[in-house]
A and B are shown apart, each in its own frame.
Chain A
Amino acid sequence: MIEFENVSKSYGESKVLDRLNFRINPGEFVVLIGPSGCGKTTTLRTINRLIEPDGGKVFINGEDISKVNPVQLRRTIGYVIQQIGLFPNMTVEENIAVVPKLLKYPKEKWQPIVRELLELVGMPYKENAHKYPSELSGGQQQRIGVLRALAASPPIVLMDEPFGALDPITREALQEEVKRIQKKLKKTIVFVTHDMDEALRMADTIVFMSGGKILQMASPEELLQNPADPLISEFMGKHKGAPGASLTAGDFMKTRVLKASRKTQTLQSVELMRKRDVNSMIVVNDDDTYAGTVSLDTIKALGKAGKEIGDMMEDQAPIVNLNEDAHDTFEKLYTSPVGYVVVLNDDKTVAGLITKTSMAKAMGEALWGEMLS
């Protein structure tokens, strides 16, 4: 357990940490996030005494760390940095074994650890152990950076924007790996990022900092639903519409829908639907308000060439208002006989359609950001 008690730090006039109080439980994955310069790195580095606070105390398992020899302390806390910092004069194996060797493990003890860890990230010992860092890709290097931090089985691992320099795909793979390893090995991880996606994906608890203070410390869900500060909402930007937050029908609809006046004639309608590869369309009145829907099947069954579609409309499609609560909208969607829901604006004009596909896509976007679009 890590506890901060009124921890403060100033550089000259500027207060970088302002009486921080928080507690991190064993096995918890805590993400520190906030604007640049808000004190994330400083907070992290007070945990392994790379920075000494000038007020307050940090406890690890109840022990005041200012009383612990910093070198000994750091050997029991893993540390991963954005620049990776693998030692270029050492092989992969030597890099991973650095801390075990500092702790005077015999070779019979550290070598199996190296093997096991490499196995854990899918980098077989035989192919990789004797390479130098410069012979690895960025993603592989940071994997080794993570393994180096884990080698002596520290219960706590600190990570400062470890994936900040990686491309999005590698980054995501590593996020998953670290999360999996954390669960498997039951590590307490304190992780700094300025990427809200990453925070939401990985954290059990998010600590949102600003100006050396904690604005909110909460689970990702709680943070999404009840951001304690406008800055947090702003930081989350596109994540406002994540599941659980107050979503409405408008968040899930597709707006490019096929509409036609009720005076449209049958053959023309069939042609329109064929072109768009759909089997039904929305019919609107002259004032553009919603009238009903018409399906290809109905036209085929009832229609003669030259008839107006206004005469063969159906009204089975459920209708919801743009601001209808997401939950009720889903109910209607799942019970809809036509497989979709029509969304109307307040003035009864057509805003869009919700289909199962549009809903899945919108949920995906809410969860994973722009990736799917």
Chain B
Amino acid sequence: MGGNAVMTFVAFCIDHQKDIFNCLVRHFQLVGISVAAGMLIAIPLGIFLSRFKHFALAVLRLAGMVQTIPGLVMLGFALLLFGIGLPPALFVLSIYAILPILQNTYTGITEVEKSYIEAAKGIGMTNGQILRKIEIPLALSSIVGGIRTSVVFTVSWATLAGLIGAGGLGDLIWTGLSTYNTNYILAGAVPSAIVAIALSGLISIIQKSITPRGLKGVSV
């Protein structure tokens, strides 16, 4: 792509800035809602599994299996279930958002050193207090890491949502693909790549800033 192509692309973007902006906003909505839903399900489930470890293996395996179902197949199923539009897209994306958070919550909590739990119990913390004051703080960095993975995944999976009319940057890409218009493809692909990288970086910064000094460089 020569300088000329870049110029046309920039011109195209300026021309279509409203469309692109709307798609971007929708993309954020897709990612935001599905990651939020994923967290809402995965974090409590991860905590639950860490208490009842004999369920954990089965559940984590199941979640891993679901994860390997190709996105398009999942979308197909969701389409059959919910019809076209936003609901099936959010459904599928939320399911994909769950696994990384679930895994990291579970391992984050189960890998908290036993001696901390022993000490916490021995000095008279209730199970709830141990969870809130010790286990979650110590697992937090790992949980946030899971959220970051989940966000990066969902940003890219969300481009598929365009296929079933849920909008987002995928819309532009699919339009581009079906009309052989490179500019549309780029207008969808470039922002979604930027969004993925930016969000990943942002969450990394958050992850570092919430880690107390005492835990930096210390594995828990």
Determine if B214 and A89 form an interchain contact, defined as CB atoms under 8 angstroms apart: yes
* Residues of B within 8 A of A (CB-CB), count: 24
Determine if B214 and A91 form an interchain contact, defined as CB atoms under 8 angstroms apart: yes
Determine if B214 and A90 form an interchain contact, defined as CB atoms under 8 angstroms apart: yes
B137 contacts partner chain A, Cβ-Cβ < 8 Å: yes
Q: Which of A74-82, A194-202, A332-340 contacts B (4 or more CB under 8 A)?
A: A74-82
Main SS class of interface, A: mixed
Which residue in chain B gives the minimum CB-CB distance to A151?
B123
Which residue in chain A gives the minimum CB-CB distance to B212?
A89
Determine if A132 and B122 form an interchain contact, defined as CB atoms under 8 angstroms apart: no
Determine if A148 and B123 form an interchain contact, defined as CB atoms under 8 angstroms apart: yes
A50 contacts partner chain B, Cβ-Cβ < 8 Å: yes
Interface residues of B in 90-138 (CB under 8 A from A): 113, 115-116, 118-126, 129, 133-134, 137-138
| CA gap between A148 and B123 in the complex, in Å | 9
B198 contacts partner chain A, Cβ-Cβ < 8 Å: no
B218 contacts partner chain A, Cβ-Cβ < 8 Å: yes
Determine if B123 and A83 form an interchain contact, defined as CB atoms under 8 angstroms apart: no
| CA gap between A81 and B122 in the complex, in Å | 9
| CA gap between A158 and B123 in the complex, in Å | 10
Size category, A interface: 20 to 34
Using Cβ atoms and an 8 Å threshold, which residues of chain A touch B125?
71, 98, 102
Q: Within the complex, what minimum Cβ distance (angstroms) separates B60 from chain A?
A: 26
Using Cβ atoms and an 8 Å threshold, which residues of chain A touch B6?
none
Partner of A74, one of B123, B213, B217, B220: B123
Which residue in chain B gives the minimum CB-CB distance to A158?
B122
Determine if B116 and A71 form an interchain contact, defined as CB atoms under 8 angstroms apart: no
Partner of A50, one of B122, B138, B214: B122
| CA gap between A84 and B118 in the complex, in Å | 10
Which residue in chain A gives the minimum CB-CB distance to B126?
A71
A232 contacts partner chain B, Cβ-Cβ < 8 Å: no
B215 contacts partner chain A, Cβ-Cβ < 8 Å: yes
Which residue in chain A gives the minimum CB-CB distance to B127?
A71
Q: Within the complex, what minimum Cβ distance (angstroms) separates B209 from chain A?
A: 14
| CA gap between A134 and B212 in the complex, in Å | 11
Q: Within the complex, what minimum Cβ distance (angstroms) separates B219 from chain A?
A: 10
Q: Within the complex, what minimum Cβ distance (angstroms) separates B167 from chain A?
A: 42
A25 contacts partner chain B, Cβ-Cβ < 8 Å: no
Using Cβ atoms and an 8 Å threshold, which residues of chain B touch A149?
123
Using Cβ atoms and an 8 Å threshold, which residues of chain A touch B215?
88-89, 132, 134
Using Cβ atoms and an 8 Å threshold, which residues of chain B touch A99?
123-124
A133 contacts partner chain B, Cβ-Cβ < 8 Å: yes
**Residue ranges of A at the interface with B (Cβ–Cβ < 8 Å):** 48, 50, 71-76, 78-79, 81, 83-91, 98-99, 102, 132-135, 148-149, 158
CB-CB nearest 9 A-B residue pairs: A132-B214, A85-B119, A75-B124, A83-B115, A74-B124, A79-B122, A85-B115, A89-B137, A88-B214
Can you list 27 residue pairs at the A/B interface with Cβ under 8 Å? A48-B122, A50-B118, A71-B124, A71-B125, A74-B124, A79-B122, A81-B118, A81-B122, A84-B119, A85-B118, A85-B119, A85-B120, A86-B119, A87-B116, A88-B212, A88-B215, A88-B218, A89-B137, A89-B212, A90-B212, A98-B123, A102-B124, A132-B213, A133-B214, A134-B214, A134-B217, A134-B218
